[in-house]
Amino acid sequence: MPQPNGNLYTLLASHFPADGSKVAIQTPEKNYSYDDIDALSAQYANALASLNLPAGSRIAVQVEKSPEALMLYLASLRAGLVYLPLNTAYRDAEVEYFVTDAEPAVLVCDPTRETGMHALAQKTGGARVFTLDSQGAGSLTDAAQAQDPTFDTHASQADDLAAILYTSGTTGRSKGAMLSHGNLSSNALVLHDYWGWSDQDVLLHMLPIFHVHGLFVASHAALLAGASMIWLPKLDIAQALHYLPQSTVMMGVPTYYVRLLDDPGFTRDVCRNMRLFISGSAPLLSDTFSAFEARTGHRILERYGMSETIMLTSNPYHQADGQRIAGTVGPALPGVDLRITNDKDEPLGTGEIGDVQVRGPNVFSGYWRMPEKTREEFTGDGWFRTGDMGSLGGNGLSDNVVTIVGRNKDLIISGGYNVYPKEIELVLDEQPGVLESAVIGVPHPDFGEAVVAVVVPLEGAQPDTEQLRETLRTDLANFKVPKEIRLISALPRNTMGKVQKNVLRQDWSAGS
Ligand code: MLC
Ligand code: AMP
């Protein structure tokens, strides 16, 4: 019997509406129908296929958000390539690491970075370089336009790689989480049902598309429902207020909801057609949840996930399944096993705080070319260690409700972007006049947490902290650059010599 094609695109396309002229993507300038999506993704797939790359070749993409950028992602799936999205804020030195590690056969970049990308390609093994700009134009689109608008989607197995998502690591070295067609498909199907998607939905899509949240959770859900997306290049509150009355679903990191609430124009009336606001990628403050409900009558649905696993838990959608509770991330999604353990991987009881471990068809297979790291992050019996701390039940909650209380990884989440202090400390420590440094996250009204640093100067040195921040911008994405740097005479350490970041955080808040 022939095996059904396990390619994620085949699954998505099998749910496209019968009426192919239905709008799939609406931008302020132009609409794209479902027929357009199929034809355009076929043209980009044909352009990629004409390069005769072996299946499983990587395609690294660092481009501004546009409908064509989404077509490129779909084309990569269709051509059997492995998609490697990169944050547009990454500087050349950061991109060099990913390219050296993943050895992509194709690099797609903004035209403004083409020269640097060619140089990088030459240095790292000769990837083909194409451009794609914020309007969807560039050498890749030129190549695609000459192609046939039909394409026979590559026959994939469920465990064939579809994407590699780099997540920073505690050692400062990023790891590529390998996600398969099966991982992505299973999660998309679960979220489709759990969040009640239908072809009547209109998703207000303002998230970046180089992370799990905007690229997978949001786009897959809308395409699988045959719904429409209002596709904006980034969060812009004026645009959001303009388009919300036509929308039924919105997804955002908590900063999106904080900024909406900051605008008096964000009213109950603006949300009149909305059925669902979803928040994730960082903790949503209870204050934001309550203020949002008071203003709009909507309870934001908070969910929890990560690059390695896509979505893991969600507050209920249907009232019959329970209330959405502020400060919790809801039960594990159908098909996901979640447990809380002590440091010996033994399950803990109701309400006890421990390590969050998960299993399920959505969980990645490992880190790209890091078998050791992969082994460390999985228990012997196949549970993935998320690095988050949490509890199940307790405090009057049902036993299956998960609360995330912190992280046992030294991670800062700023406006939904992950920042590992080690990466910044390594760069800071190399600067003239710097003996050592420590990077911490402190509460921030807009970003939830902000990255800040303390620096111990070399004896007799007095580094200029603003100059240090400017220098860091050369090699680090802007969102990683500490918002403030303070000088300090010595780092507080415990008896083991470990820097006491909790003390630094307290001292920072106290202003010292
Ligand atoms: C931008 N800046 C940030 C920042 N974003 N600083 C700290 N944290 C951030 N997140 C800085 C820029 O460097 C710049 O600084 C200044 O703010 C203005 O830049 P901007 O581009 O105009 O910012 P803005 O458009 O306002 O962006 C803020 C934001 C954006 C919150 C809208 O960061 C965003 O869309 N975040 C979403 C991230 C996301 O999708 N995460 C999902 C990860 S997936 P300067 O100094 O240069 O002026 C995941 C799994 C899961 O975690 O569970 O979903
Ligand atoms: P990333 O590695 O970028 O995929 O980020 C994943 C991390 O974001 C998780 O391990 C959590 O620490 C955090 N995260 C995601 N969603 C939530 C949430 N709803 N509440 C708290 N933390 C979250």
Q: Is the pLDDT of residue 81 over 90?
A: yes
Distance CA 494, CA 246 (A): 55
Phi/psi of residue 425, nearest 5 degrees: -60, -40
Q: How far apart are CA 360 and CA 313, in angstroms?
A: 12
Mean pLDDT confidence for 445-465: 97
Q: What percent of the chain has pLDDT over 90?
A: 95
pLDDT in tens, 25-40: 999 999 999 999 999 9
- Contact between 399 and 393 under an 8 Å Cβ cutoff? The reply is yes
H helices within 351-500, ranges in order? 371-377, 421-429, 465-475
Is the pLDDT at 485 greater than 90? The verdict is: yes
Pull the structure tokens for residue 117: 């990308």
- For residue 415, report the distance from its CA to the centre of ligand 1, in Å: 5
Best mutation site among 418, 449, 479 for ligand 2 pocket (most ligand atoms within 8 Å of CB): 418
Q: How does the average pLDDT of the chain come out, rounded?
A: 96
pLDDT tens, 116-128? 999 999 998 889 9
131 Cα–ligand 2 center, Å: 31
H helices, E strands: number in the chain: 15, 24
CA distances from 277 to 39, 319, 414 (A): 31, 15, 20
Q: Compute the distance from residue 334 Cα to the ligand 1 centre, in Å.
A: 31
With a Cβ cut-off of 6 Å, ligand 2 is lined by: 167, 212, 280-283, 302, 304-307, 329, 386-388, 404, 407, 413, 418
Ligand found nearest the CA of 304: 2
Q: What is the distance in A from the centroid of ligand 1 to the CA of 503?
A: 27
Count of positions (residues) in the chain: 512
Taking the domains of the chain in order of start, what are their residue ranges? 34-155, 412-510
**What does the pLDDT average to over 180-193?**
98
> Distance from the CA of 417 to the center of ligand 1, in angstroms?
6
Nearest CA to ligand 2 atom 5: 306
pLDDT at 124: 87
Using CA atoms of 47, 51, 55, 61 in order, give the dihedral in degrees to the nearest 10: -60
The three-state secondary structure class of 479 is helix
In the chain, the percentage of residues whose pLDDT exceeds 70 is 99
Token pair, residue 343, equals 């440091």
Return the structure tokens found at 204: 């207000």
Q: Using 50, 70 and 90 to split pLDDT, how confident is the model at 409?
A: confident
- What's the pLDDT score for residue 231? 98
Residue 171 has pLDDT above 80, yes or no: no
| 409 within 8 A of 389, measured Cβ to Cβ | no
pLDDT digits 0-9 by tens, 256-274: 999 999 999 999 999 999 9
Rounded-to-integer distance, Cα 332 and Cα 321, Å: 13
Q: State the distance from the centre of ligand 2 to the C-alpha of 310, rounded, in angstroms.
A: 10
Is pLDDT at 172 greater than 80 in this prediction? Answer: no
Amino acid in the structure at residue 102 = A
Atom 7, ligand 2: residue with shortest CA distance: 306
- Give the pLDDT mean for 374-381: 96
Q: Is 1's pLDDT higher than 70? A: no
Q: Please report which confidence band the pLDDT of residue 139 belongs to, taking 50, 70 and 90 as the band edges.
A: very high
pLDDT at 287 over 80: yes
**Cβ-contact 418, 411 below 8 angstroms:** yes
Dump the DSSP string for 11-60: HHHHTS-SSTTSEEEE-SS-EEEHHHHHHHHHHHHHHHHTT-PPTT-EEE
Amino acid of residue 341:
T
- The Cα 6–Cα 21 span in angstroms is 26
Nearest-angstrom CA–CA distance, 32 and 207:
19
Buried b vs exposed e over 413-444: b needs ≥16 C-beta within 10 Å? bbbbbbbbbbbbbebbeeeeebebbbbbbeeb
pLDDT tens per residue, range 188-219? 999 999 999 999 999 999 999 999 999 999 99
What is the reported pLDDT for 104?
97
Residue nearest (by alpha carbon) to ligand 2 atom 20: 283
Rounded distance, CA 264 to CA 222, Å? 29
Decide if domain 34-155 falls under CATH 3.40.50.1820: no
pLDDT tier at 408, thresholds 50, 70, 90: confident
In sequence order, the β-bridge partners of residue 402 are 330, 392
The predicted model gives 293-315 an average pLDDT of 98
pLDDT at 384 over 70: yes
Alpha-carbon distance of 461 to 489, in angstroms, equals 11
- Are 415 and 207 in contact by the 8 Å Cβ rule? The answer is no
pLDDT score recorded for residue 407 = 87
CA-to-CA separations, 95 to 137, 164, 365, in angstroms, rounded: 22, 14, 24
- Given ligand 1 and candidates 212, 219, 424, 479, which is best to mutate, with the most ligand atoms within 8 Å of its CB? 479
Cα gap 113→490, rounded to integer Å: 41
**Average pLDDT of 172-188?**
94
Would you say domain 412-510 falls under CATH 3.30.300.30? yes
Determine phi and psi for 291, rounding to 5 degrees: -65, -35
Give the mean model confidence (pLDDT) for residues 58-66: 98
Average pLDDT over residues 131-149: 98
> Is the CB of residue 253 below 6 angstroms from any atom belonging to ligand 1?
yes
* pTM: predicted TM-score of the whole model, two decimal places: 0.96
Question: What is the pLDDT averaged over residues 344-362?
Answer: 97
Q: How far is the CA of 115 from the centre of ligand 2 (A)?
A: 35
Q: Which residue type is seen at 84?
A: L
Residue 281 CA, ligand 1 centroid: distance in Å: 12
- Residue 173 pLDDT: 79
Alpha helices per DSSP H over 231-380: 237-243, 254-262, 286-296, 371-377
Task: Establish how many alpha carbons lie within 13 A of residue 457's alpha carbon, considering only the half-sphere containing its beta carbon.
Answer: 13
Ligand nearest to the CA of 330: 2
- Ligand 1: residue of 235, 260, 284, 451 to mutate (most ligand atoms within 8 A of CB) is 235
Amino acid letter at 186? S
* Mutate which of 168, 206, 281, 307 for ligand 1 pocket (most atoms within 8 A of beta carbon): 281
**Which is nearest to 434 in space by CA: 452, 453, 459?**
459
